[in-house]
Amino acid sequence: MSATTTVNVKIPTPLRNFSQGRDLVPANGATVREVIDDLEKSCRGIRERVCEADGKIRSYVRVFVNDEDIRFLKAAETPVKAGDTVTILPAIAGGR
């Protein structure tokens, strides 16, 4: 099992009501899944906005580790290391 590390999670504006308005929140984990699970402790309700019930990242949410889309890595099992930045980006619909 990988060692747990602390990363910074960038919270987008539409989800900041879960993070008490903070745009950057520290979280611990060895993988993106573990980071999101840990993030839930300080940002109650955010996990269900980001993940399906089975833990997969929702299709309309993009997650990046240091600007790399985890869809092209190992999805929620993408490993993270200390100092990494995990960015959550939900799709925004609209326009004409």
Residue ranges of domains in the chain, CATH in brackets: 5-90 (3.10.20.30)
Please state whether beta strands 5-10 and 68-69 pair in parallel, antiparallel, or not at all (unpaired): unpaired
Q: Mean pLDDT in the chain?
A: 92
* CA 37 – CA 31 distance, rounded (Å): 10
- For residue 78, give Cα distances in angstroms to 62, 64, 89, 92: 13, 10, 16, 24
- pLDDT number for residue 89: 95
Q: pLDDT tens for residues 25-71? A: 999 999 999 999 999 999 999 999 999 999 899 999 999 999 999 99
Q: Beta-carbon neighbour count of residue 57 at 10 Å?
A: 19
